[in-house]
């Protein structure tokens, strides 16, 4: 069995964003030379997420509204975590809901995604450099 490791780096200027990273993940898969196996895509920061869903702007707006209702950013004083000097407790909670990682089957050298599925990086506390790990294993 072979393995391949690759990192993607992002610095999102806004507090929150959803970035379609499917093309970058497929590029890493192609570079790996693996044609059958599994591909892990993992947010390496506790205020960011990786998830799979549709690349549709209305859905992304719905996520924004829904996540803000679940864990509003303001007032920052509502969270005990923010008493440490941080202002990102809501980002930790949003990440918990959206997930840390995805695993996608690799078939014939391609990500084996459903018809509308895309891989996204979700940023909930932007403004600094963060990374995503891609780890591919297989033959």
Domain that holds residue 99: 2-138
pLDDT of amino acid 90: 98
Structure tokens at 64: 């924004």
**CATH assignment at residue 8:** 2.60.120.460
pLDDT for position 30:
98
Domain count, the chain: 1
Distance CA 37, CA 50 (A): 19
| C-alpha to C-alpha distances, 28 to 32, 34, 65, nearest whole angstrom | 6, 10, 32
Q: What pTM was computed for the model?
A: 0.96
Q: How far apart are CA 33 and CA 88, in angstroms?
A: 39
pLDDT tens-digit profile of 27-57? 999 999 999 999 999 999 999 999 999 999 9
Q: What pLDDT does residue 32 have?
A: 98
| Residues contacting 95, CB < 8 A, separation 6+ | 43, 46, 47, 48, 49, 122, 124
Point out the residues of the chain with pLDDT beneath 70: none
Task: Tell me what pLDDT residue 86 has.
Answer: 94
Q: Could you tell me the two tokens for 17?
A: 């964003």
């Amino acid at each position: 069995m072979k393995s391949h490791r690759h990192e993607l780096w992002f610095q999102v200027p806004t507090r929150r964003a959803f970035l379609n990273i499917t093309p970058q993940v497929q590029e890493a898969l192609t570079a790996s030379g693996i044609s059958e196996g599994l591909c892990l895509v993992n947010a390496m920061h506790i205020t960011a997420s990786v998830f799979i869903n549709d690349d549709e702007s209305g859905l992304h707006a719905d996520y924004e509204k829904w996540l803000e209702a679940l864990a509003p950013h303001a007032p920052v004083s509502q969270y005990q975590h923010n008493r440490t000097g941080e202002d990102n407790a809501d980002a930790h909670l949003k990440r918990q809901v959206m997930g840390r990682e995805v695993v996608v089957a690799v078939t014939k050298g391609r990500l084996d995604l459903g018809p509308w599925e895309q891989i996204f990086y979700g940023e909930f506390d932007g403004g600094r450099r963060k990374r995503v790990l891609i780890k591919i294993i297989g033959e």
